[in-house]
Amino acid sequence: MRTPTYLAAELRLPTNWLDYTILAIYFVVVLGIGFAARRSVKTSLDFFLSGRSLPAWITGLAFVSANLAATEILGMAANSAQYGAYTVHWYWIGAIPAMVFLGLVMMPFYYGSKVRSVPEFLLLRFDKGAHLLSSALFAFAAILISGVNLYALAIVVEALLGWPQWVAIVVAGFFVLAYITLGGLSSAIYNEVLQFFVILAALIPLTVLGLKKVGGWDGLTDSLTKSHGDDFVSAWGGTGIGSDNPLGANWLTIVLGLGFVLSFGYWTTNFAEVQRALSAKNLSAAQRTPLIAAFPKIFIVFLVMIPGLVAAVLVPNIGTPDSDLQYNDSIPYLMEQLLPNGVLGIAVTGLLAAFMAGMAANVSSFNTVFTNDIWAKYVVRGREDSYYVGFGRLITAIGVMASVGTAFLASSFSNIMSYLQTLFSFFNVPMFVVFIVGMFWKRASMKSGFWGLLAGTTAAMVNYFVLYKQDVIGIPTDQGANFVSAIAGFVAGAVVMVAVSLFTAPKPAEELEGLVYGTVSPGMAEPPAAGDDAWYRRPALLGWGAIILAAACYIPFSF
Amino acid sequence: MSESEQFEPSERAEAAERLRKAGYSEADVQREVSELEQKSATAARIFDLRRIIGGLFVVYGVIVTIAGLTDSDAEIDKAQGININLWTGLGMLALGIFFLAWLKLRPTAAPTPPPLPPEAAEAAERRD
């Protein structure tokens, strides 16, 4: 994913008092949610996991929204302007199967074992080594990513509204700090759901007007076929092994690297996502969280891809040195060109909300892991519950301030965002391999978790920094290299886990109940709540429905 | 209810021993989280999000619809001849009304606390 390095100065939006009124109303509501949610925080479980009591539609929309940060919106539009319709892979093969797998296969173990975080599951399945390493890696990555969101917000706000960067960073940091410290995860999740609808209200008019401008879908594909060739508007054209395409990846690396390893790593073991499902009110709601999220996810691709493609038609030399516009400018450029005051205010609000929610998702998962998994287990153990709520609030403030720091750090690198995408493959993929082996292979020993995690992380880094960066193997693009790093990390992690397991003691069978596929823990067998047996709430139906729908969406893009 | 009411001293010593040796077992997590679920206040006290979404989108819908009704020709020309403020405003208004109607028709059910784990239920009975 490409994301903003800087935006062209002439993109300054013609905002007026009406747009600022809309933005101001949003900020008031965000703070109001924080204050109103404060009443509901009584225990640490309320603060970090909403007391495991939210309904599925809320956790489901928050699940999709936590991923729909503005870096994703601007980045995927940029991807489309650069690579064309290949962007659909990030959604239909790169998200849906993993989300369905999380809901149908993994969620009973996550939710049923009552763990409060992804590292806590590793503690139960493996040992303290795996737990501490995964907690530390996650906490570190969360603060880095949250800082990048904050920095990206600052450069977009500076370009579009003319606010100095430090003003935007401090304002956004303050609001996120205020509403999470007050209301904990509940207010983060409520704001994410609200953001979901505002961002839709921003992107739908933009997409409609963009399409009208270039003569509808047919006009769009005709122009792009003429200027960029047939493959630009197809999903699989030019992805044969050995053939050349702008993405620098073939169908095998797309299916294995993106579709399997990278996306399963991100969606099933990234705690910023999984936390939303763990806050659901019962197992059925937890299972439905990623499944409900899958349906909007299938269609959101159109709202980011079409503006990107439209920008590629309107500014044929976008992203080249001949043009002032970067690929990342696609959506801001269309906003400036097409939206009148009013809808423009909604669009600016949507982008700001998306940046803040992306940051908040990272901060709210960071404070949970740092408090429950690091502080309460290794530093200050056995204190009363209210102590940990207080500590959670403190570490939220520290996390936000650290994000402000990493935001300024990010501003000193010219292209940190694409590196950060690469870092995702370092952190998420090894977690995933440890999970998948631990969940499906009883024999995986206690020690194998730690060594698998370490080996996977190292292998992905070696592939990226040594093999790719030093040109030992020829991969044409960063994206292609990310796919290969992911596969390398996965294979190395799996091999090391098997090898270590063969030489070390397995975990006693009675301690694995409810943690390994084919076993059930006492807490898992809960009776369905009233109404959850309705046909449209059956997880299997929702999950397979999403898979079939995503596969069907490929048809028009495949021939 | 405090921990000491639920667990016999020997059990507590055993649990502490397990914690020291094996770190942390699934039983510990289950017990801790079940206890916290009992005391949790979110289900009982959290406000209904539908009210906030409904309210915000009705307000936004009205503002943007009015902007659409008063838009000049230049603004409509900018948006490819579509009165986008009007349509977006009406759409947001409809979404807001949908959430308020949903809230009205299906108000939040009174929360039922999750069933007590057996040992905690016994402890609660003994106290009564």
A176: tokens are 């996120």
Q: What is the DSSP letter of A283?
A: H
Is any Cβ of chain A less than 8 angstroms from the Cβ of B36? yes
User: Largest alpha-carbon pair distance within chain B?
Assistant: 82
Residue type, B39: K
**Are the C-beta atoms of A87 and A215 separated by less than 8 Å?**
no
Q: What structural domains and CATH numbers belong to chain A?
A: 9-33+46-557 (1.20.1730.10)
Map out the domains of chain B as residue ranges.
1-45, 49-105
Closest CA to A372 of A196, A537, A171, A139: A139
For residue A280, report the phi and psi dihedrals to the nearest 5 degrees.
-70, 160
Q: What contacts 24+ positions apart, CB below 8 Å, involve A312-317?
A: A312/A80, A312/A81, A312/A84, A312/A224, A312/A227, A312/A228, A313/A214, A313/A220, A313/A223, A313/A224, A313/A227, A314/A213, A314/A214, A316/A227
CA distance B4 to chain A (A): 13
pLDDT tens by residue, chain A, 559 residues:
334 444 555 677 888 889 999 999 999 999 999 998 888 888 888 899 888 889 999 999 999 998 887 778 888 888 888 888 888 888 888 889 999 999 998 898 888 888 889 999 998 888 888 999 999 989 988 898 888 888 888 878 887 888 888 888 888 889 899 989 998 899 999 999 999 999 999 999 999 999 888 888 888 888 888 877 777 777 776 666 666 666 666 777 777 777 777 788 888 888 989 999 999 998 889 999 999 999 999 999 999 989 988 988 888 877 777 777 777 788 888 888 888 888 999 999 998 888 888 889 999 999 999 999 999 888 888 888 889 999 999 999 999 999 988 887 777 655 545 656 677 777 888 888 998 899 888 888 988 999 999 999 888 888 877 777 777 776 666 667 777 788 888 899 999 999 999 988 888 887 888 788 877 766 565 666 666 777 778 888 889 999 999 888 888 877 6
Interface predicted TM-score (ipTM) of this complex, two decimals: 0.86
**Are the C-beta atoms of A87 and A305 separated by less than 8 Å?**
yes
How many residues comprise chain A? 559
Asked if the Cβ–Cβ distance from B46 to A342 is below 8 Å, we say: no
| Residue from B4, B37, B49 whose CB has the most chain A CBs within 10 Å, to mutate | B49
Dihedral in degrees, nearest 10, Cα atoms A517, A523, A524, A528: 180
Asked if the Cβ–Cβ distance from B84 to A209 is below 8 Å, we say: yes
CA distance B37 to chain A (A): 6
Asked if the Cβ–Cβ distance from B46 to A33 is below 8 Å, we say: no
Q: What is the value of pTM for the model shown?
A: 0.86
pLDDT in tens, B60-84: 999 999 998 887 777 777 777 788 8
Q: What is the DSSP letter of A231?
A: G
| Residue carrying structure tokens 């084919």 | A518
CA distance A54 to chain B (A): 7
For residue A481, report the phi and psi dihedrals to the nearest 5 degrees.
-65, -40
Looking at residue A150, its pLDDT comes to: 87
| Residue from A343, A510, A520 whose CB has the most chain B CBs within 10 Å, to mutate | A343
- Burial class from Cβ neighbours inside 10 Å (0-12, 13-18, 19+) for residue A492 reads buried
Cβ contacts from A onto B, under 8 A:
167
**Are the C-beta atoms of A493 and A450 separated by less than 8 Å?**
no
Per-residue pLDDT, averaged over B105-118, amounts to 62
Residues 2-21 of B with CB under 8 A from A: none
* DSSP string for residues in A409-461: HHTTSSSHHHHHHHHHHHHHHHHHHHHHHHHH-TT--TTHHHHHHHHHHHHHH
Residues 73-112 of B with CB under 8 A from A: 75-76, 78-82, 84-85, 87-89, 91-92, 95, 111
pLDDT in tens, B25-60: 667 777 788 888 888 877 777 788 899 999 999 999
**Are the C-beta atoms of A357 and A192 separated by less than 8 Å?**
yes
Asked if the Cβ–Cβ distance from B68 to A37 is below 8 Å, we say: no
Looking at residue B70, its pLDDT comes to: 85
**Are the C-beta atoms of A39 and A455 separated by less than 8 Å?**
no
